[in-house]
Structure 1
Amino acid sequence: MDVSASGHAAALWAGLHVFLLLVLSLLVVRGRQKHKVALGDGGVPELAQAVRAFGNASEYVPTGLGVLAVLAVVGAPAIAIHGVGLVLFAGRLIHAVGLSRSGGASVPRAIGMICTWLAYVFGGVILLFYAIP
């Protein structure tokens, strides 16, 4: 196992998730400026959706990044880290797009959550595999 390759793989997905969070944050700031809202969503549906898209990503991404970091530390294969990172990133991106287009239930939001949960399950199983001596 090449721990260096594992670390590079985790770094790639961590960096992409950081930029996803940054973009979602900028969309909230832009919406607040546009609607002259200092705090919260001001009752503006478009802004509420942007706030929730950022909030939802902020709730799920840290655990996913923790999984990726620990996978790298234990020397999991880079391909496994890429698999978890890709599915998590795709899920968070699809969910954010779905939420930004509709405040209600939508196919992209459902797909995004399923991908996120799959990344969690896949990552969790691999972590448990490495935890058993």
Structure 2
Amino acid sequence: MTLPITLTIAAGAALINIWLGTRISRLRLRDKVSVGDAGNAAILNRMRPAEANFTEYTPFFLILLALIELAAGSPTWLWIVAVVFIVGRLLHPFGMDRPAPNKLRMIGILTTWLILVGLAGYALVLASTYRPQPAVTYAEHTAL
């Protein structure tokens, strides 16, 4: 079974992850830092935490998205939630690039949390209302 929403969003998330990593790599190349941050405040305080934050939350989101999509969750609702999640995850690193407190960062974080709570709740509803379908026997299948 193909999961078009999850596949599309996972591809987008992979590209964002690469972008976040290349931001750090460019600074490391510029400053000739092979490992770590060598005291570079941009890497230490902004870029690395933005990348780490993305990699902490995105797997949970993608797992919930895939399982809800498999459980016949509403495609329209899932597309909206998925796009809002991606926008929130993009706002966060742009907010990290600016002095704190920052609205972009806060919106990115709150969006992520609210979406994860919403998906978790939706997953629980789907799980609690799940009724297994009776298995189709070979005789019933061939009669169809």
Q: How does the TM-score come out when normalised to structure 1?
A: 0.88
Shift of 1:13: 1.2
Q: Distance in 2 between matches of 1:130 and 1:57?
A: 27
Report the equivalent of 1:97: 94
Q: Distance in 2 between matches of 1:32 and 1:106?
A: 25
Which gives a bigger RCO, structure 1 or 2 (Cα 8 Å, sep 6+)? 1
Shift of 1:39: 1.5
Q: RMSD between aligned alpha carbons?
A: 1.5
- 1:59-103 Cα offsets, whole Å, 9 max, x none, are 11111111111111212121122122122111111001111234x
Contact 1:72–1:81 (Cα < 8 Å) also in 2: yes
Report the equivalent of 2:83: 86
Give 2:23's aligned amino acid: L
Asked if residue 14 in structure 1 is aligned to residue 10 in structure 2, the reply is yes
Q: Distance in 2 between matches of 1:59 and 1:47?
A: 18
Report the equivalent of 2:111: 115
Q: Which has the larger radius of gyration?
A: 2
Q: Distance in 1 between matches of 2:63 and 2:82?
A: 11
Mind listing any 5+ residue stretches in structure 2 that lack a counterpart? 130-144
> Structure 1 segments of 4 or more deviating over 2 A?
none
Q: Distance in 2 between matches of 1:12 and 1:57?
A: 17
Q: 1:72 aligns with which of 69, 74, 79?
A: 69
- 1:8-66 Cα offsets, whole Å, 9 max, x none, are 11211111111110100111111111111122221111122111111111111111111
Give 1:120's aligned amino acid: L
Contact 1:13–1:85 (Cα < 8 Å) also in 2: yes
Contact 1:98–1:107 (Cα < 8 Å) also in 2: yes
Give 2:92's aligned amino acid: H
Contact 1:94–1:109 (Cα < 8 Å) also in 2: yes
% same residue: 27
Q: How does the TM-score come out when normalised to structure 2?
A: 0.82
